[in-house]
Structure 1
Amino acid sequence: MTQTFVDGAPRTSPATRPPLTGPPLRPLTSGDRAFLHFSRLNPGERLEAGVVLCVDDPTLTVHELRAHVATRLAEAPALTERLSPPTGRSAAGVGWQLDHEPSLGYHVNVEELPAGSGQDGLREAMDRIASRPLDLNRPLWRIWLLRGHRPDGVEVVYRFSHIHQDGAALHQALHLLFGLDREPALRNLPTFGAPTRRDYARMASGLLRGIPRTRQLTSWGGPPHGGARHTWAIAELDRLRRIARRNAATVNDVYLAAVAGALRTWSRTEWTRYGRPVHAVMPISLRTPAEQEILSNFTFGVRIPLPCAEPDPRRRLARVAAQTRRIKAGGRMGTIERRILDRVPPNASPRMLAGVAASGSRAHEVALVASNTGTMRGPYAIAGRQVRTLIGMPPLFVGRQHLSVALFGLDAHVCAAFTASASVPRHAELADRWLAELAALD
């Protein structure tokens, strides 16, 4: 199948682009439909995320970047998928269909940042990019080359919509665009058998208990408003592994415990008594081995209390590890959730699906989303230049959420990335406080 890529400015505006013809190549997953319905029922709102690839070579040009992307897209049709038109007023009949003429003038861009502006210039550019919605009539990703802010290198931003990609799909998309081999990016995915009586009993017990309200922090500064603001901290993966081994925990436990500690020290005056905990939603992947290369959504959110009231860092880690062990008890985590995902009917209510997509933004139930996208399998290269490290841009429901946190990784390094609403006071402190928590645990 031949594909052509148009360079320069987009040939047509989004409103006048020729419609796709023919049937969709594959249907939307339940997760895809949920995020699509959320965007359609809430005009102006969307959930998008991204990563920043750091390259220590200032000579990379946008022409080289476009040529690199064009070569990769010719071998990766999944990245040219876009939404097919609905057959009626609803999203019925919408599926994923190949765009045979994606415009690189739209998808690959360049921004010259103020000379010498460094990380401040990079952060401001990330905030600007996050404010620009992706075009739902095109493949749901864009790339920006950021230049000029540092003399010894450039940054490349990959921005994508949650309608098309979850965290596991991000692994595959980056591997297709920048990986040095063509093997699938994911490994050791689970299979999900039929739920047992014990699984149903566990779910029924959770429903009977209900969802307790989460702790409301005065430090949030009131209801969230303003755009997304990005900060991050880079650490060595071996450091988190070392802490995990010493404490019979996992890297994910260490990450979450450090998030709890960062929130505690950031809002210290509110933790003079224990009381109600702060709850986070932790997305888990429900992909099977047959779905490792599909760019779609196969995630489900698990609610977890963060022990911010615990003053001792090691005891905080022990409590987080105990919580995650309970969630994974019996090795059956995700069994019922996967069954639910598979059984959502095609005619499910758009409002219900949109509500599921926005569940992480219910401020009375959860205070934040804490994701772990896992470590990407590098090395990555862009037009012959090796990617040194990776910075995350977690998704944020702007105007609904105070904070979204995610752990990203590339080879030997991890990035704890924080996206906060502009209204949150002192949000820029959180990344450094997360690093301080790692030091306390180490």
Structure 2
Amino acid sequence: MPLHLGSDGGLPASLPMGTADVAYHLAMAGRPLPAGFLFSFAGGAPTLDSLRARVAERVHRIPALRYRIVRERRMFQRVDRIDLEQHVHEAWLPGDDDGSGAGRLMLSRPMGGDGRPPWDVWLVHGPTGGHTLCYRTDHTLQDGVGAAHTARALLDDDPAGGPPPHRPARPAPGGVAGALGDVAASFRRTVKPAFDLPVSGRTTMCQAVVPVARLRALGRARGATVNDVFLAAYAHAVGTWHRKATGSVHPPLPVAIPMSVRRRGEECAPGNRLVVARLLLPCDAPSPRQALAGVVARTHTLRTSRRREALRLMLTAGPRSAGARIGTRLVNGRSVAGPVSSVDFGSALVHQGSAARRAVVYSGLGGGIRCLTTLTSQHDTACFAVIHDEALATADELPDLWLAALLELERP
């Protein structure tokens, strides 16, 4: 069903939830799970009125913003009248020196109920004249790549570009075997000593910023992608973090890797269009270089076997409820430490003539997950972010340890 930007007035009155949507609904027991993008700016902030005017001009042409969640019927229902005062807000965080305060606000602020579309936009004023534009939605309605396209369509002066579309292909036999192996592994409780702590229910975040060119140079030198470098540095950071706290080696860490299956023409369509693969990060590798070699081998197998396609077919071939139950097992605190996600936003978001310095994709936590790690690339800057349960009291050390792993990879 084509739901293109610009389809004003032609949207269906209702849409059924997809398999991944139902999985998020089940994992959260019907509660909202905030997700979205943060865009940090250095210059003067726009006025709230001008921001509302931009949103009012575009909101009715963006399909994902026109639907509310009807949870008891597991469907999305179109809303024709949108009250912008309920959707566009302003806040002040004068003490937000590290740039992550806006993210903590978005994770803690209550979201609207089922009576209206579950999204909002925030203008958050920071210290020294800086500000952040925040787009927030409910993960049951939209995934990270969809949120990237929607945020750009809603806020950018020239809303073009964004993450590339998925091009479908047939899975290879190895991909089918890998997908079945992921499901089988989800039934086993895995040992994750750094993350196996009681959940507090309170979420916070921390981050670090690096040039994208630095990650690309590291990848070229080692025959790896930017995503490989991100994952390997994170694996070594977790290993170092655990060794500092306990003196022991952390075993390989199972994480969930979200992969978009959002096709061309579905950029701003409601619903989650993603699958999740299981990957073991070599936290026990003695050096970042050895961790990178292990990650490269594993992601190469993931790509060449086309496991993304195998998972997509497996989760959608049968009844929606069955696929959703499998999805909740694949991303659950019993079997994985949490999602580790990479999103390339593309060119910098420009709002009213001002270009964002960096972008961050974020999400709340559910299903017993203690930690979500993201890498968001925008123009020439990448932001490494760790969204974690406060039970992981020293997790704010991970960004610095991640940067230290990059330094080790750069040594001749």
The aligned runs of 1:210-289 (5 Å cut-off) are 213-217=189-193, 219-220=194-195, 222-269=197-244, 276-289=251-264
Distance 1:206 1:100 in 2: 41
1:429 aligns with 2:410: no
Identity score, percent: 26
- Which residue of 116, 122, 126 maps to 1:138? 116
- Which residue of 73, 76, 80 maps to 2:66? 80
TM-aligned CA deviation for residue 29 of structure 1 = 2.0
TM-aligned CA deviation for residue 393 of structure 1 = 2.6
Q: 1:312 to 1:212 in 2, by over 3 A?
A: farther
- Which residue of 24, 31, 51 maps to 1:35? 24
Contact 1:392 1:416 in 2 (8 A): no
TM-aligned CA deviation for residue 130 of structure 1 = 1.0
1:403 aligns with 2:371: yes
For the residue of structure 2 that corresponds to 1:238, the secondary structure is helix
Q: 1:199 to 1:369 in 2, by over 3 A?
A: closer
1:337 aligns with 2:311: yes
Contact 2:176 2:311 in 1 (8 A): no
Q: Paired residue for 1:107?
A: 87
Please list every run of 5 or more consecutive structure 1 residues that lacks an aligned counterpart in the other structure: 5-21
Distance 2:118 2:400 in 1: 32
Distance 2:185 2:378 in 1: 39
Please give the TM-score of this superposition, normalised by the length of structure 1: 0.82
Q: Paired residue for 2:292?
A: 317
Q: Paired residue for 2:357?
A: 388
Q: Cα RMSD over matched residues?
A: 3.0
Deviations 1:65-110 (A, max 9, x none): 1112112214434322223x47xxx425x2341x222121111111
Amino acid of the structure 1 residue aligned with 2:88 = V
Contact 2:67 2:76 in 1 (8 A): no
Aligned length: 403
Runs of 4+, deviation exceeding 4 Å = 1-4, 195-213, 269-275
Q: Paired residue for 1:154?
A: 131
Q: 1:62 to 1:316 in 2, by over 3 A?
A: same
Contact 1:394 1:418 in 2 (8 A): no
Distance 1:210 1:63 in 2: 48
Distance 1:319 1:440 in 2: 16
Q: Paired residue for 1:302?
A: 277
Q: Paired residue for 2:73?
A: 91
Contact 2:176 2:307 in 1 (8 A): no
1:60 aligns with 2:46: yes
Distance 2:206 2:145 in 1: 22
Contact 1:53 1:156 in 2 (8 A): yes
Amino acid of the structure 2 residue aligned with 1:58 = G
For the residue of structure 2 that corresponds to 1:60, the secondary structure is coil
Distance 1:255 1:173 in 2: 25
Distance 1:133 1:354 in 2: 27
Please give the TM-score of this superposition, normalised by the length of structure 2: 0.87
Distance 2:205 2:402 in 1: 14
Contact 2:251 2:283 in 1 (8 A): no
Q: 1:183 to 1:200 in 2, by over 3 A?
A: same
Please list every run of 5 or more consecutive structure 2 residues that lacks an aligned counterpart in the other structure: 1-5
Q: 1:201 to 1:64 in 2, by over 3 A?
A: closer
For the residue of structure 2 that corresponds to 1:289, the secondary structure is coil
Amino acid of the structure 2 residue aligned with 1:360 = V
Contact 1:192 1:334 in 2 (8 A): no
